[in-house]
Chain A
Amino acid sequence: MPSYYTPITDGEPGSPETFNTRFEELSDNIDDIAASAIPAIVDWTTLGGSAGSISITSISQTYKVLKLFALLRTDQAATKSTLVMTLNNDTTASNYFMRRVHAATTITTTLQTGSGTNGFDLQDLCTGASAPANYYGFLIMDIFNYTATTGRGVLYAGYCQGDTGTSSEFELHDGGGHYIGGSAVTRLDLIPGAGSFVAGSKYALYGVL
């Protein structure tokens, strides 16, 4: 017995109502499934070569929350690189606010209050060229209410290990903040503080319904 619609039986008239009833049953079940889905807006994408930035544009306005995953490495001659994220290609520093907790050998906290950085300052969340091979900076971020023109909140967690021999080179970050630019978010950019992202870096963007 099918799960999602009532089978047509012998004797039912071949009328539009007969078929429309089944289509509606299927459609209602699709809505139920979709309500729990987090469809991919951008499937996991691995860079085949270097990239000065990662841009995700024309973001669908269908969802309630964006969920971003990224594993990033740059060609900067360092163990770690900084990372900035902008929304809508907006480089107005006064539109970005963030509180971040950062664990290295001790735990510190920093505040970004609409100045200094032209985007969300995610600090050292990329490995650099000096980091061990196949080590990437890890980032997972939720962007809430992104289709609105006010009240966009972000929460993120990430870490980066730039060197296996020094404990201070393994940094763990957690942060949250908000974006006060006046437009719905349709674009997201990840920008390394120096150099370019290298091949093997990967990212994905999902929409949460």
Chain B
Amino acid sequence: MAQRRNGDDERRAAEERALVERSQRGEVAAFNVLVERYQSAAYALALRVVGDPDAAADVTQDAFFSAFRAIDSFRGSSFRAWLLRIVSNGCMDHFRAQGRRPAVSLEATLEDDRGFDDPAASDYRMPKTMIDPSWDPEHAALRAETIAQIEAALLRLPPEQRMAVVLSDVQGMPYDEIARVMGTSLGTVKSRIARARAHLRGLLPREGELFRQRGRPGTERER
């Protein structure tokens, strides 16, 4: 199974290289195949970071135009990471344009966290009966209300924490790729993700059912 997946990955990678080369020669149609492939991820990132659907659509469209104009300078192996980096920069430009300066220093980020580092928050953990450890995130459904709560909580994070945790947990990106996308160091990425998760725990409701359950609570399993 792992071998078959590698074969598919190789084929997809070769396809993508061909599409990039054609785009570099100016073929808009080839570039639009890449757009189709990655627009959901691009828009999802923009929306989760920026919050507003119209602004997210603008950021996404601008990112694709910028990517096409700059396609000559794409040298790496991951078009997705390169594209998401452009989207990420677009999100930061959006915040700057709005006059809201993203927290650029660790000190500033600390200040934002202070309100949520109270002892009550640190002792909080979700009761085990709420979350089935055998629950599969791919297939479980969240209630609309829960989705809204998570989205609202995300928007209360400082933009750079939000971006880091969205790239990691929503986009499934590894830390080193996130570091490249955000133009920062691995240590900063680790720190932002950890803070973001702790921050969110403090913001999300402590009672009530958050998930629709499947199966019986099983034993605690390490990743």
Q: Do A and B form a real pair?
A: no
A residues in contact (CB < 8 Å) with B? none
Binding site for A on B (CB under 8 A): none
